[in-house]
Amino acid sequence: MVMEKRIFGATDGIRSKVGEKPLRPAYVKCLGVAIAKFFRHNRILIARDTRESGVWISDVLVEGIKQLGGTVGDLGVLPTPVVQKIVGARDGIMGGVMITASHNPATDNGVKVFMGDGNKLTDEQELEVERLYFDIGVGDDVEPPTAIYVPDDNTGAIREYTEIVRLALEIDDDFDGAPMILDAASGAGHDFSRQVFEAFGIEVKQIDPVPDGKNINAGYGALYPEKIAAESKKYGAIGVALDGDADRIVVTDEEGRIWNGDRLVILLADYLQSKDALTNNTVVLTQYSNYAAEQYLTNLGVTVQKVDNGDRYVAQKCEEVGAVLGGEFSGHIIYLPWMKSSDGTFMAMMIQKIMADKGCRLADLWARYDDLPSRQWAIEVKEKKPLDEIPEWNGAVAAATGDFQGDGRIFARYSGTENKLRILVEGKNLDMVEEVGERLKALIEKEIGA
């Protein structure tokens, strides 16, 4: 049984409000020393997204890494999965660090750590970094310094990554002006992903504002696909929406329809099946996937395995059951021949490849099913108390499940990175979904609401 982590989150690295522990200078420096010890003072690479706080966090983390003789290569501003691919592709690199809070607002930041093969640390490896961190001890703290975001010229990384993608997808010809609307959430993909797409001959119309260090995920990106859906419909072009570190992707088609992670998995599963490349005819989804999507895949002859949220757990299950494909409803898509994590830029190129191979619009590949009505509630909590210990919770869930009469479900879990309880309610009747969700929300707010 894995021990409970104290600074790393349940799903994806360290994440916190900037200026709160552990994202304060003395704590970040201590983390740098621990990371250097974990990698035995060998060379690692570091990068960040477009948050202004990433500048000082990177500087202080590097100071800690170098304190005991570690060496660091600074990649500047890059998407998380690009860092992973570069770490895995270069000789002599023992690990990597990405400073990002993914889809969170600019007031947050975090640290993700990768092994030399580009894969995220396992739970056990994160616990080892924590052990080193607490053994070192935090020194005298100071206030976080002022930092200003400045964009980077990542021409070399763009060329390196583009060539890796070209070889992986066997792209021989460019896409000859194929149109794309891009919304990169004013994040790490704003310049990088656009330039990769343009390197493949795609004509990109970008709608997210230029990053300024404060506007990452601010009303744009994968969390707000309605903006890019409207542009897609207006111009008759596909849209690609990324999150702040460009590992998540949501796509919109030429008719303005939003393709969530479920629909993207279905698109990829159908394509890989046609190439006899969907190993074991199996895909991995999470508990947040819509039941209608699961049934659609089953009707294609695909076996669906389910796991808890987190692309790391999707990848682990894929390996366990011999599958190459999985994903989260939110847009993290796992394709193991590429990597054990999600990469929004690569997925956008794979979708372009599918469209080119089939000689059709993305809209023509829309899976003909309707999602069951569902809604999610994210409730601020003061403590992550086990749900079984909350008075009336089990009884309320049992009563609601009975009301659905087999045509609905309730799934609740605490966020791995925030003090929130997320409740998903799904059923055939939207009014009942709303009623059940509001009832459970009120109960949680009464018992442990912040």
Render 16-53 in DSSP notation, one character per residue. Answer: EETTSTTSSHHHHHHHHHHHHHHTTT--EEEEE-S-TH
Give the separation between CA 450 and CA 444, rounded to whole angstroms.
Answer: 10
pLDDT of residue 312: 87
Distance CA 310, CA 150 (A): 31
Let me know: does 242 contact 183? Beta carbons within 8 Å.
Answer: yes
Q: What is the reported pLDDT for 2?
A: 54
Mean pLDDT of 273-281: 97
- Over residues 282-302, the mean pLDDT reads 94
Question: For position 257, what pLDDT does the model report?
Answer: 98
The Cα–Cα gap between 416 and 191 comes to: 29
Percent over 70 (pLDDT), the chain:
99
Query: Distance from CA of residue 91 to its chain's centroid?
Result: 26
Architecture of domain 14-136: 3-Layer(aba) Sandwich (3.40)
Decide: 216 and 244 in contact? Cβ < 8 Å. Answer: yes
Give the pLDDT band of residue 189 (cuts 50, 70, 90): very high
160-167: average pLDDT: 96
Cα distance between residue 250 and residue 261, in whole Å: 7
Averaged pLDDT, 415-427: 87
Q: What is the pTM of this model?
A: 0.90
The tokens for 252 are 């919109």
Tell whether the model's pLDDT for residue 1 goes beyond 70: no
- Top pLDDT among 137 and 227 is at 227
Q: Is the pLDDT of residue 213 over 80?
A: yes
User: Is 164-257 a domain of CATH 3.40.50.300?
Assistant: no
Which positions ≥6 away from 99 have C-beta within 8 Å?
A: 46, 47, 48, 49, 51, 54, 57, 58, 61, 109, 110, 111
Residue 56: its pLDDT value, please? 97
- What is the architecture, at CATH level 2, of domain 374-448? 2-Layer Sandwich (3.30)
Strand order in the sheet with 203-206: 203-206, 179-183, 238-242, 249-252, 258-259
* d(C-alpha 57, C-alpha 24), whole Å: 8
| Parallel, antiparallel or unpaired: strands 95-99 and 44-48 | parallel
Helical axes 53-67 vs 25-38, angle rounded to 10°: 50
Report the distance separating Cα 152 and Cα 148, nearest Å. 13
Least confident interval from 199-208, 261-270, 338-347, 423-432: 423-432
Residues with catalytic roles:
102
Q: Per residue in 313-324, pLDDT tens? A: 999 999 999 999
Task: Report whether pLDDT(127) > 70.
Answer: yes
259-343 adopts what CATH topology? Answer: Alpha-D-Glucose-1,6-Bisphosphate; Chain A, domain 3 (3.40.120)
Q: What is the pLDDT of residue 146?
A: 87
pLDDT tens sequence across 225-247: 999 999 999 999 999 999 999 99
pLDDT tier, 121 (very low <50, low <70, confident <90, very high otherwise)? very high
> Would the pLDDT of 209 be above 90?
yes
Task: Examine the pLDDT at 147 and tell me if it is beyond 90.
Answer: no
**259-343 and 374-448 share one fold:** no
pLDDT band at 9 (very low <50, low <70, confident <90, very high): confident
Please report the pLDDT score of residue 345 as a whole number: 98
User: Is residue 288's pLDDT more than 60?
Assistant: yes
Which residue bears the tokens 């995920």? 217
Q: Kindly list the domain boundaries of the chain, sorted by start residue.
A: 14-136, 164-257, 259-343, 374-448
